Structure 1
Amino acid sequence: MNHQLAVVDHDIALGGGPLPFTQWDSNPHVKLGQLGAEPPLPEIAAELQKSLHSFAEKVMRPIGTELDRLSADAVVDKASRYWEFRRAYTELGINMETLASFSAEEMPHVFAILFEELGWGDSGLAISAGAGLLPHYMAAKFGNDFVARTYPESLIGSWGITEPDRGSDSIDPGGHAAHAAGKPNRPNCVARISDGKIVINGQKSAWVSNGPVADLCILYCAAETGSGYDPARGAVVIVPLDAAGVSKGKPLEKMGQRALPQGEIFFNDVTLDIDHLLVAPEDYLKGVYAIHSEANALMGATFAGCARAAYELAHSYAHERRQGGVPLVRHQDVARRLFHMARKVEISRALARRVTAFNMNNAMPALQAAMFSKVTSTQHALEVTSDALQMFGGNGLTREYPMEKLFRDARASLIEDGCNEVIAIKGGMLLTDPDLLPG
């Protein structure tokens, strides 16, 4: 069954320029391309998109479907097809050297297309790929070459920030969005920095993406430097997860994105040289701002892809399935729903590309803009997957069809990397213009 959108003759509709009005069909109708109302991509981005789409379709979707039906322990087992995905993804060559080879004009296209196509394939595996890049990617953003010199990119990365008592508030260590009467919870994980050493104790919660399978962690935690605990003065540390004192909890059983291994990481007097410190306490607020600017943009592109997958499946099903003697798409309400699903996909994709281009070419990224993308794409992904499931009717509730999995995967995204409610409060605070405030 073909669930992809039909692609029209690009010379006529998508790349050959406008036709004179006199040459239009008497009953005009244009089929959108695989990426919707997208102008022709730069050549390198177009080739990348083609390669990634094939990988997403032939590798990610079947593996993601299989992993979704396994226990969390079975997903990370060495016999699991998760490792087949990791090997195939590595062969794509998406690494720091490759990313650095793209021009400033090309990179926003590359980033947005990369994660949209991965999200189209399987959002859980897409997040696993993104988290795997973060230790090296963020170290480069911070101007640190120690990580690249010391740890090969073949190691699987992870990002440890949330804790059992500190969830979405981790995006706001300065407390700018907190209630006036609120007090920050005590940290569950603390790095003591002294005498050229970092000593880490505590734990990160079960939501560490790639936690059960990772070799390397970019750890965000509280810092203790002799003057007590200040939530605005944390530390960002690169932690090799084979270091003495590191242990891992059981892989997390969860509702959606079951192909993404997540689990706790524990630290018991883990001692590292000071070279592993990526961001010192005085720069912690900048470090949190930086990684959330990247993560929110990644989520925006990924869940534009997830929504697009659901829309394409519903679009195809509406043409194939007959009810009342006609294909579903001939029913007015089905056509109306398809229109709004397509509209939401277009909005999510366009915002993901726009924000990525702005943040990659601006002197500093705008975190609130990245948050626009994350909240928009994840909310739209939930709505589009829900509408698509409804269009499938009873079939949508069964595992024979992919809709119930897409819906579960999308639902998780509204909490992932900071719940959308807290992100909106933080983003709203970032819209404050000090120049307009009195006094």
Structure 2
Amino acid sequence: MNAKFHPPLGLSGLESPLSEMEMMVQESTHRFAREVLRPAGTQLDRLSADEMVAVDSPLWEVLEKAKDLGLSLTAMADMDPVERMRLLAIASEELAWGDVGLAGAILVNHFPVMYSLLAGNLAMAEYCEGKRGCWAITEPDHGSDMLDASASLQASGGAYGRPNCVARIDGDKVVINGQKSAWVSGAITAEVCALFCHADIDGQVQPGMAIIVPLDLPGVSRGKPLDKMGMRGLNQGELYFDNVEVPVEHLLAGPETYQKLAYDMLSEANPHVALLFVGLARAAYEHALEYAHERKQGGVPIIQHQNVRYRLFHMFRKVEAARALVRRVMEFNATAPSPALHGSTAAKITATQTAFEVASEALQMFGGNGLTREYPMEKLLRDARAGLIADGCNEVLALKGGALLFNPELL
């Protein structure tokens, strides 16, 4: 077939022309993903949870090297919003193409800065910049319902019950007591925490407070690292707070502004997580495409079988569609007066569902080889499955998004 029927595509497929800065960011993060994240991700995936965070683990070197990528949110704060959005989108996809768990670990390091900027607390953003971070919101008795600060999804006649972590203001301090669940991303490696919890106001517990908490304070302790099926490069674990005292200046939101920050936080976090799974889906597709040209069945490379081409095409279109939606949502949120949370949840659900479908189809194309650790597919499928639950399980996020479509004035 003539080469003119094979138009060359860049790293991220049907991408509009990149600026010089975008090309530089894409090339540097892709190289880092290929040379650092892929080999480290494979190695870490085969370690126990304790070994993965041990002092001699390669995880620490990866997190340290990631600082050299220059992805500083405070440095980008004065950039044009769309330009900043595109740079972060390009970088996140490339990192996740390398390893989605480690890309998640790098992303969550920036969450305390990200949420401080969303809250307008520049002092806390500067304080957190350069420190390893984590985000603590879900609790042992309250999983994804902690994302529902307005209780719009609460069952009729039901109640979410008493929270596991509560903070109160005492003079010039915020005092924190309780526990966050084992799903705190970055909990074991973090130096600072973006904590979202309930507030105790004159004995009345209500949503909520958001606080930047240094994790070396008296009263802070950590549980064991979570041993899990997928995204093993992203360490997660419990955080405990026993009369932890934080200066009131560390407060990002109190009860009067908590719901808005929680809305803005989820609107920002969901698309960033979606980007990671676009990267994973692309990696799975590219592995399958390469393998289809190498593997022979029936005397020819399997790419010459019509059914294989058909399946590869549908993988290609799903990756492109997911990327397009995520980028569209991020650009809208970057330029609109208020972000569209239902758009953000649509992006996260679409990208993670796409990653799972593409990884599953890619593994099937590898046949028995796909089930072995000699090939990357079984890991990619485990990682993709985790995405359907990470950052809010897709079912709850869909209910949250659906609630935002309801307009009682039209009834």
Is 1:141 the counterpart of 2:118? The answer is yes
Give how far 1:101 is off: 5.1
SS across alignment from 2:333: helix
Determine which of 134, 139, 145 is the counterpart of 1:163.
139
SS across alignment from 1:250: strand
Determine which of 275, 281, 300 is the counterpart of 2:274.
300
Determine which of 177, 199, 220 is the counterpart of 2:175.
199
Alignment-derived partner of residue 218 in structure 2:
244
Alignment-derived partner of residue 410 in structure 1:
384
Give how far 1:148 is off: 3.7
Alignment-derived partner of residue 321 in structure 2:
347
Give how far 1:138 is off: 1.2
Give how far 1:26 is off: 10
Is 1:221 the counterpart of 2:197? The answer is yes
SS across alignment from 1:45: helix
Which amino acid is 1:235 matched to?
M
1:2-35 Cα deviation digits (max 9, x unpaired): xxxxxxxxxxxxxxxxxxxxxxx69844343321
How many angstroms apart in 2 are the aligned matches of 1:26 and 1:115? 31
How many angstroms apart in 2 are the aligned matches of 1:27 and 1:192? 66
User: Which consecutive residues of structure 1, in runs of 5 or more, have no partner in the other structure?
Assistant: 1-24
Contact 1:67 1:258 in 2 (8 A): yes
SS across alignment from 1:207: strand
Is 1:423 the counterpart of 2:400? The answer is no
Single out whichever of 251-260 and 181-190 deviates more from structure 2.
Answer: 181-190
Q: How does 1:328-339 map to 2 (within 5 A)?
A: 328-339=302-313
Is 1:154 the counterpart of 2:130? The answer is yes
Q: How does 1:35-434 map to 2 (within 5 A)?
A: 35-100=12-77, 102-149=79-126, 151-230=127-206, 233-434=207-408
How many angstroms apart in 2 are the aligned matches of 1:265 and 1:306? 29
Single out whichever of 68-77 and 185-194 deviates more from structure 2.
Answer: 185-194
Structure showing greater radius of gyration is: 1
Q: TM-score, normalised by structure 1?
A: 0.91
How many angstroms apart in 2 are the aligned matches of 1:39 and 1:199? 50
Alignment-derived partner of residue 7 in structure 1:
none
Runs of 4+ in 1 over 6 A off after TM superposition: none
Distance verdict in 2 for CA 1:162–1:35, change over 3 Å = same
SS across alignment from 1:249: strand
Q: Which has the higher strand share?
A: 2
1:171-199 Cα deviation digits (max 9, x unpaired): 11211122213211310000012322211
Distance verdict in 2 for CA 1:380–1:26, change over 3 Å = closer
Give how far 1:270 is off: 0.4
Give how far 1:137 is off: 1.7
How many angstroms apart in 1 are the aligned matches of 2:72 and 2:8? 35
Which amino acid is 2:331 matched to?
A
SS across alignment from 1:35: coil
Which amino acid is 1:137 matched to?
M
User: Which consecutive residues of structure 2, in runs of 5 or more, have no partner in the other structure?
Assistant: none
How many angstroms apart in 1 are the aligned matches of 2:225 and 2:81? 39
How many angstroms apart in 1 are the aligned matches of 2:379 and 2:358? 13
Give how far 1:36 is off: 1.2
How many angstroms apart in 1 are the aligned matches of 2:159 and 2:125? 38
